[in-house]
Amino acid sequence: MLVSIVIALVLAEMGVRIVRKGQPITPPTYVGQNTNRPSKNFVADAQTGWRMRRNHEFERSIDGQRKTFRSNGQGFRSNVDFDHPAGVLIGVAGDSFAWGSGVDYSETFGNLVEESLDDVTLHNFAMPGFGLDQMWMSVRHQILPLNPSLVVVAFIDDDFTRSMIAFKDKEGFNKPRFLLDDGMLRPQSSADASMVNMMLASRSQLWAGVTLVYSILSESWPLNTAILDAIASDCQQQGVTILFVRLPERNSKPSRRLVRFFHSRGLPFIDIPGLEYPPADIHIKGDGHLNATGHAFVADAVSNWIKHSAINHLNY
């Protein structure tokens, strides 16, 4: 019996490695488990994990086209530095979809929203690779201190999984991670690390996969909904209107679960995959991020919400 179990585990391990084709599964990571790696275009940020280098410019080839990514003096993708403008200020938190990976800055939905509204300034604090927990920290430490009239948190489904890790391997930086203790969020510390689990996950892709799936199924929803509640609470305490926007990944379907959640909290929510008549092709081929058409579609949805739903809150 024991021999059969060992053989089955060995075969399962081999199967996982073959299916993954050399791409390792990243299990939930712990604070202090990894060290930051040097990056040409990004630097560590103590509050959110990372941001762009200040006053920096670099290019990437996206679908055969060269795209330029330029940061302002504070390390965010913008042509101007962020300040406390007079009138209506909108702050955006998000990941690479909101940051505009694959499109020119002028084509991002944030810039399009700003251009569609009179006397409105929009500051986009989104950053590639961010999870929902990092968006919370961005809202708390970067956006709310500027006294905005509206905060837009734009996320994709994968951002829920990113809240389960303390290190983003693709970007090479540590990030904040939070745990739920008796329904209360607290920062994870090195004392929470399981040495046995880390050792097994580093040696076995099967164990890493099982650990990741278990954490997603058992922890992801309560943790991330607590984070969403915390974002809303931070904004409400400062009297700032909050809008949550679910951006469409390729093959995204409407999320009744999220609609029910935000409705139960009385929080404004736009489920972009659930809108009627979206354009047929809104993603970059071979990349998966939103293309210019996708950004324009999101911009229309957000702008229309601001014009029709937030007019009394924003004095717009």
Average the pLDDT over 5-28 and give the result. Answer: 57
pLDDT recorded at residue 236: 97
> Per-residue pLDDT for 278 more than 80?
no
As a whole number, mean pLDDT of residues 51-77 equals 91
CA–CA separation, 316 and 121 (whole Å): 12
More reliable by pLDDT, 272 or 25: 272
The predicted model scores a pTM of: 0.87
- Average pLDDT, rounded, for the chain: 87
Check whether 217 has a pLDDT greater than 70: no
Q: Poorest-confidence range of 71-80, 164-173, 261-270?
A: 164-173
Given a cut of 90, whether residue 204 has pLDDT beyond it is no
Using the predicted structure, report yes or no on whether residue 259 has a pLDDT greater than 80. yes
